[in-house]
Structure 1
Amino acid sequence: LEDTINNNKVVVFAKSWCPFCRKVGLALGKHGVVDMKVVEADYRSDEQDLISALQEITGKRSVPQVFIDKHFVGGCDDTIALDEKAELRGRLEKAGALDKEPDLPASSYDFDLFVLGGGSGGCAAALEAAQIDGIRVACADFVKPSPHGTTWGVGGTCVNVGCIPKKLMHIAATMGENTHDLASYGWTSVDGSEVKLKHDWGTMTKSIQGYIKESLNQGMLDGFLANNVKYYNSYATLKDRHTVELTDSAGGKTTATAKYIMLSAGGRPH
């Protein structure tokens, strides 16, 4: 606990559902705090131990509890009172917790927003941001091959190897299952005999893969193009708060800068 307090300029101990914690977060956020650690106690298995440890330090069990530059500020009312007296920003500046580049013009960067991750969330965020006039948006997405060498296109796990193919295969299965009940509902072949079917796995997988590649993957790329979202099929890593390093499939590296960077990496299927 002391390491968390000592190694971060601003620390907020909170709970995810707490409206007073959100209020404090907004008050700090409007000043451009960039070095802030939020510890949501209700997401920890040692929640009660954490609260008890805080009580030993601050004398309080309630949240939020705000620390600036290792010093306990107080709870929501204390933090808001500092803000209303125009003292909060000064304490944040003294602690070195504020963005030193808040007033740089947008033209200082290659993009206004760079989204790292081309899954459902990343694609939606990039396209939504692109609706704002004048906003320059980029999105990077890259799939490292699986142990068997499998890769897939833009759209993430859900579109390529998760929800969508799973649901289509489920539909295929239910179609076959429904044929068992055809006779009960009066359906027969044209010669009056029972309808009998067989399944071809290769045909199904080819059709599903074709739908994903030609409709969903390509549709997303077309959407990026139509909305002026720059798409990078490259592995992206953060170099600093405004710089992204992009590595393509051949190992070539480039960099791009952005005023804001959104992390939407998601996860891989197991």
Structure 2
Amino acid sequence: MNHFTVFGNPIAHSLSPKIHQLFAEQFGMQLSYTRSLSSAANFPTEVARFFRHGGAGANVTVPFKERAASLVTHLTARAERAGSVNTLIPLGLGQLAGDTTDGFGLCRDLQRLTGSELPAPQIVVIGGGGAARSIIEPLQAVGSKVVIVNRTRARVEPLRELFPGLQVMDLAELALAPKSGIASSGFILINATSASLQGADLDIHPGWMSAAELVYDMMYGVHATAFLKQAERGGAKVTADGLGMLVEQAALSFALWHDGLTPKTELVLKALRDSA
């Protein structure tokens, strides 16, 4: 039986084992998928140990996605540009490939939610870490103009060279009421920070929430996340958490590990929602 795992900290909340089990059942397969709680100091050693003992594939979640990109021997082009890896694939002879499926997963979920190949003319992404960087290219590929908003604008300015057409903003600009530009056309507002894990609000004027066609948090939970509660108080028209993204990115990871087998994600997403 092939063994898979997900590395993270915290990790107890991860739905990945259940998701991949449901995927496997669609193809009559048996697999073992576990959670691996790690630390920054031990992460490289634990990854090496897992694959040395025959691991068939692994996912990586917060806070190790950027570190994972520096551990592998081969990076896909999209993972290299994102500087982030959430999928590890053994190549044999100690070689390990790293890929990112997060951006693909987000795009698929936004397309499902909006019913359109182009989810919105503009996507405003709050955050400048690996989670944010991993979704820029796929969003641009479907035709959306992407704006990255970060507390320290200088940190994300270099991304404009990697992703032509990318716009950047200072988070302080979102603390003010929107006047024109982005807010005058259809846009989606996405939280790619970990603020919801701490239950913290972001310093965003409610006008941005009410102007957005969709407010989306890449985090997910049984109940609405802190960011989505903030959005609802701000008058958001429609909100969504990242459970759909989780399922969609997992489906691509599954395909990468299983010779392109692509599971039906709608069935799995419904099962997860029904069991919540």
What is the TM-score normalised by the length of structure 1?
A: 0.24
Question: Between Structure 1 and Structure 2, whose CA radius of gyration is higher?
Answer: 1
Higher RCO (Cα < 8 Å, 6 or more apart) = 1
What is the TM-score normalised by the length of structure 2?
A: 0.24
